[in-house]
Amino acid sequence: MTRISVRVDGVDYTDEVEPRTLLVHYLREQLGKTGTVVGCDTSNCGACTVHLDGRSVKSCNVLAVQADGHEVTTIEGLATGGELHPVPQAFHECHALQCGYCTPGMIMQAVDVLRENPDPSEEEIRLGLEGNLCRCTGYHNIVRAVRQAAGAREGAQA
């Protein structure tokens, strides 16, 4: 076992983990943060996307020991003061999900896309989400939601 200290969604944790533990399993099984899901388990689908030091990663493709000393944000850490973050709010308003399984990862990657580019074009959004698969929506409303969230953020800043 290896001792790790990780800050997850603003809370510090110190735990013993087996080195082979994947970050997604640590989040779900040791911390109970089941908002982050395992989709394909092959690093293709992006459902398990979280932020590691502010940048999106596929948490099924990172070892928990690699996150030692770093900061993780999951879908559960996006809301502030009981208010939905603008991206999940836009997903809700634009009907950007059907079964909802890809949604946590899709939202975390959308947040990353907007961090890098606050005003992305439709094509830039599609490229930014290329590592996230959705088998229900056909992506159309997801792209709309990200555009709307970008607008909401601009509005908030103005």
Partner 1 sequence: MIPAAFDYVAPTSLDEALQALGSGDDVKVIAGGQSLLPILRMRLNAPERLVDLGRIEELRGVSEEGDSLVIGAMTTYSDVLDSDLVRQHAALLHKAIREVADPQIRHRGTVGGALVHADPAGDVGAPALALDAELVVAGPGGERTVAAGDFFRDLFETAVGEGELLTRIRIPKHTGWGAHYEKFVRVAHQWSIVAVGATVRVDGRTIAEARVGLTNMGSTPLRATAVEQALVGKPATEEAVREACAAAAEGTNPPSDLNGDADYRRHLATVLTRRAVLTAAGA
| Site residues, partner 1 (CB under 8 A) | 2, 18-22, 25, 41-44, 46, 49, 52, 55-58, 60-63, 65-66, 68, 109, 112-113, 128, 130-132
- Quickly count helices (H) and strands (E) in the chain: 5, 5
Side by side, which strands form the sheet with 71-73? 11-17, 2-8, 71-73, 49-52, 55-58
Residue 147: which of 91, 108, 104, 75 has the closest Cα?
91
Kindly state the smallest distance separating residue 59's Cβ from partner 1, in Å: 9
Q: Which is nearer to partner 1, 20 or 157 (CB)?
A: 20
Kindly list the distances between the CA atom of residue 52 and the CA atoms of 30, 67, 72, 81, in Å, as whole numbers in the listed order: 18, 8, 5, 22
Q: Which is nearer to partner 1, 51 or 84 (CB)?
A: 51
Kindly state the smallest distance separating residue 81's Cβ from partner 1, in Å: 28
Amino acid identity for residue 48 in this structure:
C
Kindly state the smallest distance separating residue 44's Cβ from partner 1, in Å: 8
Q: Which is nearer to partner 1, 133 or 152 (CB)?
A: 133
Q: Which is nearer to partner 1, 36 or 132 (CB)?
A: 132
Q: Which is nearer to partner 1, 41 or 154 (CB)?
A: 41
Sign of CA dihedral 151, 111, 47, 84: negative
Kindly state the smallest distance separating residue 85's Cβ from partner 1, in Å: 19
CB-based burial of residue 120 (10 Å sphere; 0-12 exposed, 13-18 middle, 19+ buried)? Answer: buried
